[in-house]
Amino acid sequence: MFYGEYEHTLDRKGRLIIPAKFREALKEHYIERLFITRGLDKCLFMFSEDEWKTQEQKFKSMSFTKSEYRRFNRLYFSGAGELVPDKQARILIPSYLKDYANIKRDVYIIGVSNRIEIWSREDWKGYYSASKDSFEEVAEKLIELQ
C-alpha cells in the first residue's frame, strides 16, 4: 500500500505533511486514523488502524513472563499514539517520538508496504549509505531462507 521515498520538512508548528501518494492510498483504503510509535533503527513506524490492530494482536500474544517481550512491548506501546491527519493532510508527531528518532526539521518518509517509516534526514542518509551496497547480498540470503 505504501511505497516510495519522500523528503519533507516539518512546518514551523512541527507538523508533517503526508506525501501525496500516501494520501491517495489512505483515501483509496478509507483510512482516517493512523498509529505511530517507536520503530527500529531509530525511525518511527506509522500504521493504518487495521494494520496497527494486526501488529497489536501479534505482540499481545507474546509471553509477558519473558523479559525481552516485556521490554519490547513496554517501549513499543508506551511510545504509541493515534494521529488523525488534518484537512491539509498534516500530522503532529509527539515531541518524545521526534526526540527518539532525532527529528529536528528535515525528514524522509519511507513507504515499506504495510507501514510508513519516518526518519531524520541525517539518519536515513547514513542508513541508506551503509546498507545500499549489501542489498543484493542480503536479498540472496533472505530468498535462500524461503
Q: What is the pLDDT of residues 24-41, one digit of tens each?
A: 999 999 999 999 999 999
Neighbours of 93 (CB within 10 A): 20
Domains in the chain, number: 1
| Containing structural domain, residue 59 | 2-144
Q: What is the pLDDT of residues 90-105, one digit of tens each?
A: 999 999 999 999 999 9
Cα(7)–Cα(117) distance, rounded to whole angstroms? 12
Residue 15 confidence (pLDDT): 95
Q: State the CATH number of the domain containing residue 11.
A: 3.40.1550.20
> Euclidean distance between the first and final Cα of the chain, in Å?
23
Residue with cell 518511527: 44
Confidence of residue 109 (pLDDT cuts 50, 70, 90): very high
Task: Give me the mean pLDDT over the 118-145 stretch.
Answer: 86
pLDDT reading at 131 higher than 70: yes
pLDDT reading at 9 higher than 80: yes
Residue 66 confidence (pLDDT): 86
pLDDT reading at 146 higher than 80: no
Residue with cell 508533517: 16
- DSSP of the chain: -EEEEEEEE--TTSEEEPPHHHHHHHHHTT---EEEEE-STT-EEEEEHHHHHHHHHHHHTS-TTSHHHHHHHHHHHHT-EEE---TTSEEE--HHHHHHTT-SSEEEEEEEETEEEEEEHHHHHHHHHHHGGGHHHHHHHHHHT-
Residue with cell 510508513: 116
Residue 145 confidence (pLDDT): 59
